[in-house]
Copies of this chain bind each other. A is one copy, B any other.
Amino acid sequence: MLGVTVNRSDERRSLEMKEVEIPRPAAGELLIQVHAAAVNRTDIVNRQGKAGYMTHPILGVEVAGTVAEASGDTGFKAGDRVMGLVNGGGYAEYAVMPADRAMKIPESFTFAEAAAIPEVFLTAYQTLFWIGKLRENESVLIHAGASGVGTAAIQLAKKLRNAKVIVTAGSRQKLDFCQKLGADVLINYKEQNFDEEVLKATEGQGADVILDFVGADYWTRNLNSIKKGGRWVLIGILGGSTVEKVDLFPLMSKMIEVTGTLLTPRDDDYKARLTRDFYQAVLPYFEKREILPVVDTSFPLEKAEEAHEHMLGNRNIGKIILDVKTR
């Protein structure tokens, strides 16, 4: 089969399409014929060799496709349309997936839509509810509202908790899109001080939960934007990793919980439990198409390099998909 690997001897670490062996599913795993894989920032980090936890030679952590083989008692059969997280190996014609984190694809969804679901929706679900403990009618500040996780989080926060959803993004077009997904308060971070706007929108209280993809650049303003007793979930460092000066006292006096998290390095059992909890809660909304994945662009698998460039250009709204043609 064909799969996309990284040329690690090349300084650019260019992507290469290679002929490799079809993987074999162990007991409890599915072999999936991949119809679509999605691009994630973790793939780019992995490509650059910066994340020690990814060891699979083929990139890609999520796919949608059909079951080619179900090994052991999995609850799935050949031909089932499934989507879910894989432990690497997604940018390929076939991939293996532990069956306990495979989700049946809702009937009305294309493979491209389905591939756009697992990573961002599971991350949004994990950070909003498991870690952020967002409760009914609370407020949440979602940075990068038009990103993959952002678009998923807006919908989940709104539909599942009726939250006041405050988003930041860098253009009118992105903010309009967030509004269509249900965002209540739109902040253009290039033109406004987001902390002032959050305080205005919350009667001076601040947001109960913050989903922070930005890190260092936003540290102080996030601290200003969070409510007493708030939960601040750190899931990205697009704005740098190093904060020059951190004052610990406000963390104490505001009684704030800051949690760093990543989804990819979590263990299999965690991913299985998260998938089950998410699928049960969100499937009814998927079936009524009241919550939808957002696909920005699809590239053919052999154009993975261009797909990465598109992500780095930061112009996408929603997910970037790799279409895998059946040979």
Interface residues of A (CB under 8 A from B): 53, 131, 215-216, 234-237, 241-262, 265-266
Q: Which one, B234, B237, B241, B255, contacts A262 given CB within 8 A? A: B255
Give min CB distance, A39 to chain B, whole Å: 20
| A241 to B248 alpha-carbon distance, docked (Å) | 5
Copies in the complex: 2
19 contacts between A and B (CB under 8 A): A131-B257, A234-B248, A234-B252, A235-B252, A241-B247, A241-B248, A242-B245, A244-B244, A248-B260, A251-B258, A253-B260, A253-B262, A255-B262, A255-B266, A256-B260, A257-B257, A257-B258, A257-B259, A258-B258
Across the A-B interface, give the 4 residue pairs with the lowest CB-CB distance, nearest first: A251-B260, A252-B260, A257-B259, A246-B246
Give min CB distance, A252 to chain B, whole Å: 4
Closest to A266 in B: B255
Given contacts A259-B258, A261-B252, contact A245 B247 (CB under 8 A): no
| A302 to B67 alpha-carbon distance, docked (Å) | 80
Give min CB distance, A137 to chain B, whole Å: 19
Q: Which one, B53, B243, B255, contacts A260 given CB within 8 A? A: B255
| A254 to B251 alpha-carbon distance, docked (Å) | 20
- Contacting residues, chain B, for A248 (C-beta < 8 A): 215-216, 234, 237, 241-243, 260
- Contacting residues, chain B, for A250 (C-beta < 8 A): 260
| A40 to B254 alpha-carbon distance, docked (Å) | 20
- Contacting residues, chain B, for A256 (C-beta < 8 A): 259-260
Determine if B251 and A242 form an interchain contact, defined as CB atoms under 8 angstroms apart.
Answer: no
| A106 to B240 alpha-carbon distance, docked (Å) | 54
- Contacting residues, chain B, for A255 (C-beta < 8 A): 259-262, 265-266
Give min CB distance, A43 to chain B, whole Å: 16
- Contacting residues, chain B, for A258 (C-beta < 8 A): 251, 257-259
Closest to A255 in B: B261
Give min CB distance, A224 to chain B, whole Å: 15
